[in-house]
A and B are shown apart, each in its own frame.
With several copies, the nearest count.
Chain A
Amino acid sequence: MPERLLVEAVNDALHVEMERDPSVLVLGEDVGLLGGVFRATAGLQERFGHERCIDTPLAEAGILGTAIGLCMAGWRPVCEMQYDAFSYPALDQLINHVGRYRWRTRGKMAFPLVIRMPYGGGVRAPELHDDSPETYYVHTPGVKVAIPSNPADAKGLLAAAIRDPDPVVVFEPKLHYRTAKTEVPAGEHVVPLGAARVVREGTDVTLVAYGAMVPLAGKAADALADDVSVEVLDLRTLKPLDEGSLLGSVRKTGRAVLVQEAPRTCGYMAEVAAVLAEKAIYDLQGPVLRVTGYDVPYPYWQIEDAYMPSVERVVDAVRRLLSA
């Protein structure tokens, strides 16, 4: 199996899916001539032409709104938002149209569009290149949300998103775009939406994570390995949530520490905690702890490490939980 960086896996998925389905097209700022500021779309315009890989004007609501119209004309558009915090102008189209238009046609029209974007912090970038905006998307009815944590999933989840009959948002952890090459199946590779994955088995506590927090959780598990048996669950899809895997793991370990880099209040792990508080209450041997970003603007990058969940904070939470 070829080894690829995460961003290369994204690029691979786009090539394979555009090859497979001539109704898939890509649009966004700088996705064509440049191949994207992270080069996630490199080569697409040469390969599939200017009509299937389009450099748009600088207007995110315009991109998403146009994509809705493209769906109506029978296309399957894949929109790139250049960065997390630059996707907010498109939230109006997302909430008021992307998530509702199928319903509005009583299921007669499909809106198989994909929004993909790099997300997350830790990259020493200027302000507003660091957000984890998944809550805004997850809370919105009518859209699905996936966040891969490694190259193979980045390819497989994006492929699944492109093939899905519903709108899907895929957040790619930009911190890990180029951190490691790992094996990615060549050709068609689909990781079904809604299926979490136990990354590492354990019996004392479950670390629940997604995206960039999965490798971090793995490191925390390493740090604890001497005396704590840690299970790491990679949710992979936030909506729909794989409740079965979540509850199965927590039922086994009896303890959960939830890790997200987004601000805490109403972050995605609030939902996971709520599900546990409803459906695993009798299995829990202690409080459900969250290790999250804080309820503050993402900070100056010189101190971003203090904001981001760290191995130390995760380890501390696990130890607190075990001694509770």
Chain B
Amino acid sequence: MSQVLPAEGGLRRVIGDGHALPDGEIDLTPEQHLALYRNLVLLRTYDERSVIYHRQGRIGTYAIFWNHEAMQAGSVFALEERDWIFPSYRESAIGLLRGLPVSTVLSWWRGHPAGWWNPKEWGVASICVPIATHVPHAVGFAWGSQLKGEDRVAIAYFGDGATSEGAFHEGATFAGVLKAPVIFFCNNNQWAISTPLSAQTAAPTLADKGIGYGMPGVRVDGGDVLAVLDATREAVTRARAGDGPTLIEAVTYRAAPHATADDPSIYIDEERVQEERDNECVGRYEAYLRRLGLLTDAQAEDVKQEALDLMRTGIAEAEAEPLADPGLVFEHALADPPASFADDLAELRRVIGA
């Protein structure tokens, strides 16, 4: 039986600051570093372009993940293709790291059916909107795969606020008992919309919650993509070894509005936001790579250009999607639909002439 460790005190960290804090190391080839950098930039570009697209009225309400890229890219990098990802709305674009087309995710935010993908195709579950409710799905998937003798790990992403929901608790309880190969990845950005962590829980840290489920709790600097990768690798190793779930608390600070509809100026600490923006995660990793001589200006430029190109194509493709047919209202609800659906659709078509 694996041991339940008390949550770590400090934040795990690999990337230094180029001055007082020395850089740490991690087992990655230069190619892997570049691939990871590419992932980070892809997410960053997706996010920044999306905010613009929203302003231009080309996508709807959008949940910004600026400065959350390290948590997403770092953790996914520790997975194998066969492992499954269970995202919340905050990780809406995480499928890009698996090759999901940009246009698909943009279509989701455009409310177009083309935005809904097949989880089996990408190993990425549907975006979960209701907080924490996907946590037990990840547990069931991980455990069910294990029962089938498949070596698959599942990772569920959720926020600090999500840890208050019963769904998180019940999922974590099941995972502990079943020793399911699942990772609970908590993006602790210290806010649930306008609710600060201090109004969310009295737990000393979120990682401390692990012990209540018999799983180790790990705290990591959420802006340090390598620390995130490192912690997730360990969790993946535990999971594959049959030692059960791990709770990872990645600590950051929300440096953007909750979503495009939100105005955080009412509640947030602007100074702290500025600090965070000055130390944002893509730049941190980029500086690290440059310090280690793993990234040239030309390479960085290429990666950024490539991401921008992908976005341009993506939005063009999304906007080129034909108007959805009203028939889709009925089409996928049931595998074996009742006769009434056909009647309803026929009537609808007659009335709206479509």
Contact = CB atoms under 8 A, between A and B. Distances in A.
A–B direct contact (CB < 8 Å): yes
Contacts of B53: none
A126 B136 contact: no
B120 A108 contact: yes
A107 B167 contact: no
Contacts of B152: 73
Contacts of A172: none
Contact of B130 (A55, A64, A128): A128
Given A59-B165, A303-B329, A66 B139 contact: yes
A58 interface: yes
A267 to B, nearest CB: 14
A313 interface: yes
B144 A72 contact: yes
B190 interface: no
Contacts of A25: 147
B333 A103 contact: yes
B130 A86 contact: yes
Contacts of B350: 316
B142 interface: yes
A253 interface: no
Contacts of B333: 102-103, 141-142, 295-297
Interface residues of B, number: 87
A64 B139 CA distance: 11
A89 interface: yes
Interface stretch (B22-30, B191-199, B221-229, B237-245): B191-199
Given A33-B194, A66-B136, A303-B328, A105 B117 contact: yes
Interface residue tally on A, bucketed by range: 35 or more
Interface in A224-243: 239-240, 243
A59 B170 contact: yes
Which of A72, A77, A85, A93 is packed against the most chain B CB atoms within 10 Å?
A72
A151 B340 CA distance: 29
A203 to B, nearest CB: 25
B112 interface: yes
Interface of A: 25, 29-30, 32-35, 37, 51, 55-59, 61-62, 64-75, 77, 85-86, 88-89, 92-93, 96-97, 101-110, 124-129, 141-142, 144, 164-166, 194, 239-240, 243, 294-297, 299-304, 306-307, 310, 312-313, 316
Interface of B: 60-61, 84, 89, 108-113, 115-121, 125-127, 129-131, 133, 135-145, 147-148, 150, 152, 154, 161-162, 164-167, 169-171, 173-174, 177, 192-195, 199-201, 261-262, 266-267, 323-326, 328-336, 338-341, 344, 347-348, 350-352, 354
